[in-house]
C-alpha cells in the first residue's frame, strides 16, 4: 500500500496491490473494508467502532463505498478512506447512525491500527484476496504557545501544547516545527503526545508570526489552531524582538575594545563606513537609556562594523576618541565618555529625522554596557 498510515477522518486515497496468485480472481468491482483485529475470510457486516480500556479497538467494520473503489489494473486498486457511513441508509431507509464520520479515532485515542481487507465481493461467499495494516493518526492541534516571543538571535525555550504531536518510529516520521519560517531546534515531545518543548531559531525581528507544526497526522498552523477551517479559533501569534546580547559588557574609561554582538537581521543592514553618526545608514551606538533619533542619541559609536553572520557582528568601541553630543550626534573630541551605565543599541537608520525608521534594538539585560574605572 502506498501509505501505511493516515489522518483520522479519512478522505485520503490509498493504492494497494493484489498478490499475483490472487490476480486471476480480482474482479472489476472489489470490496474493501477496514476491520478491527485481523481480516476475516469473508467480508463482515458493517458495525460501530468500539474502543475498550487503554484506547484499544475491540470491534468495528467500516466499508469503503463502492463508488470510491477503482481497480487500476489486474493487480492494483485505489480506494478512498471513508469519510461517511456506508451504507448511508439503514434497513428502514433512514440515515445510518453507524460510523457516520467514516474511519475516525474515538475519544482518548491518539492512534489506532486497522486491518485493510480486499475481497472479490461483499457476500458471505466472498474470498479474501489481500490484506495489510493501516494506522490511523490523530490530526495535530495547537492549544497554547508559551512564551510568545523570542529575541532575534533565537535560543529561547518554548512549550507548545496541543494534540497529535507523537512522532512515528516505523516508518520514521519526526515532529518538526517552525515560527515565521525559522525552524525550531531541540524538539522534545511529551510521552502522551500532548506537548513538546523546543528552542527558537534565529530570525529577523517581526510580529504576528505563525507557528507551523508538521506531525505524522499532518500539518497545523497557529492561524487555525484547531485545524478545522470550518470553525474560528483565535490564532496564536509569535514575535521576534530585535534584542541583542553584547560581549564584553564593560570597559574602562578611555580604553578601546572590540564588541561581539549577537541578535538577528544584521545581513539586511548597511552599516556606515565613513564615521558619520547622523547618516541614514545603520550604526551601533552607546546610549544612555532608550535611543531616540532626535533627542537621545549615542554618546559613542562602535565603528568598523563587520557582519559575521545574520545573527552576529563585531565592531570597535574606542572610548579614547572623545564622545558624541547625545542630542545632535556631533563629535565632541575633548569630552570623554563618562563612567556609567549604558545600552548598546543597533539602529537601522542613524539620521536625526529617522523617526520609526531608526528601528533601534530594544533595551534588555543583554544589551547593557558599563564604563567605569576598571
pLDDT at 277: 95
Q: Which of 221, 220, 178, 222 is nearest to 201 (CA)?
A: 178
Provide the 3-class DSSP secondary structure of residue 237.
Answer: strand
91/305: higher pLDDT: 305
What is the reported pLDDT for 230?
87
- Burial profile 345-366: b = 16 or more Cβ within 10 angstroms, e = fewer: bbbbbbbbebeeebbbbbbeeb
User: Nearest Cα to 237, choosing from 265, 212, 202?
Assistant: 212
Span 169-224, pLDDT tens digits: 766 778 999 999 999 999 999 988 899 999 999 888 899 999 999 998 889 999 99
β-partners of residue 283 are 347
Q: Are strands 250-252 and 368-372 parallel, antiparallel or unpaired?
A: parallel
**Is residue 33's pLDDT more than 70?**
yes
| Residue located via cell numbers 433512514 | 94
Query: CA 163 to CA 227: how far, in whole Å?
Result: 11
**pTM more than 0.75:** no
Average pLDDT of the chain, as a whole number: 92
pLDDT of residue 170: 63
Report DSSP state, residue 232: -
Per-residue confidence (pLDDT) for residue 281, from 0 to 100: 96
Contact in structure between 261 and 246 (CB atoms under 8 Å): yes
- Per-residue model confidence (pLDDT) at position 180: 95
Alpha carbon distance 214, 216 (integer Å): 7
Is residue 88 scored above 90 in pLDDT?
yes
- Beta-strand pair 237-241/149-151: parallel
Amino acid at each position: 500500500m502506498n501509505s501505511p498510515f493516515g489522518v483520522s477522518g479519512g478522505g485520503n486515497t490509498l493504492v494497494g496491490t493484489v498478490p499475483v496468485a490472487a490476480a486471476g480472481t480480482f474482479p472489476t468491482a472489489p470490496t474493501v473494508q477496514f476491520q478491527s483485529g485481523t481480516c476475516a475470510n469473508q467480508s463482515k457486516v458493517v458495525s460501530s467502532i468500539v474502543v475498550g480500556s487503554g484506547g484499544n479497538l475491540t470491534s468495528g467494520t467500516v466499508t469503503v463505498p463502492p463508488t470510491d473503489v477503482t481497480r487500476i489494473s489486474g493487480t492494483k486498486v485505489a480506494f478512498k478512506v471513508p469519510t461517511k457511513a456506508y451504507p448511508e441508509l439503514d434497513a428502514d431507509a433512514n440515515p445510518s447512525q453507524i460510523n457516520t464520520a467514516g474511519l475516525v479515532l474515538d475519544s482518548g485515542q491518539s492512534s489506532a491500527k486497522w486491518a485493510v481487507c480486499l475481497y472479490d465481493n461483499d457476500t458471505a461467499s466472498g474470498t479474501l484476496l489481500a490484506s495489510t495494516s493501516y494506522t490511523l493518526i490523530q490530526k495535530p492541534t495547537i492549544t497554547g504557545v508559551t512564551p510568545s516571543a523570542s529575541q532575534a538571535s533565537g535560543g529561547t525555550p518554548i512549550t507548545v501544547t496541543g494534540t497529535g504531536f507523537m512522532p512515528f518510529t516505523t516508518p520514521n516520521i519526526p515532529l518538526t516545527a517552525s515560527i515565521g519560517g525559522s525552524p525550531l531546534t531541540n524538539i522534545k515531545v511529551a510521552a502522551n503526545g500532548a506537548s513538546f518543548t523546543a528552542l527558537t531559531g534565529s530570525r529577523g525581528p517581526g510580529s504576528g508570526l505563525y507557528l507551523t507544526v508538521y506531525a505524522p497526522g499532518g500539518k497545523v498552523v497557529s492561524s487555525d489552531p484547531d485545524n478545522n477551517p470550518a470553525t474560528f479559533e483565535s490564532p496564536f501569534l509569535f514575535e521576534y524582538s530585535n534584542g541583542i546580547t553584547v560581549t564584553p559588557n564593560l570597559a574602562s574609561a578611555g580604553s578601546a575594545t572590540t564588541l561581539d554582538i549577537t541578535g538577528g537581521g544584521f545581513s539586511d543592514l548597511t552599516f556606515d563606513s565613513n564615521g558619520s553618526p547622523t547618516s541614514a545608514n545603520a550604526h551601533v551606538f552607546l546610549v544612555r537609556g532608550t535611543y531616540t533619533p532626535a533627542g537621545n542619541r549615542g554618546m559613542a559609536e562602535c565603528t568598523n562594523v563587520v557582519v559575521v553572520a545574520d545573527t552576529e557582528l563585531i565592531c570597535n568601541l574606542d572610548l579614547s576618541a572623545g564622545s558624541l553630543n547625545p542630542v545632535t550626534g556631533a563629535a565632541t573630541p575633548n569630552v570623554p565618555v563618562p563612567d556609567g551605565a549604558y545600552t548598546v543599541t543597533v539602529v537601522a537608520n542613524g539620521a536625526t529625522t529617522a523617526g520609526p525608521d531608526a528601528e533601534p534594538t530594544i533595551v534588555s539585560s543583554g544589551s547593557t554596557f558599563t564604563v567605569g574605572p576598571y
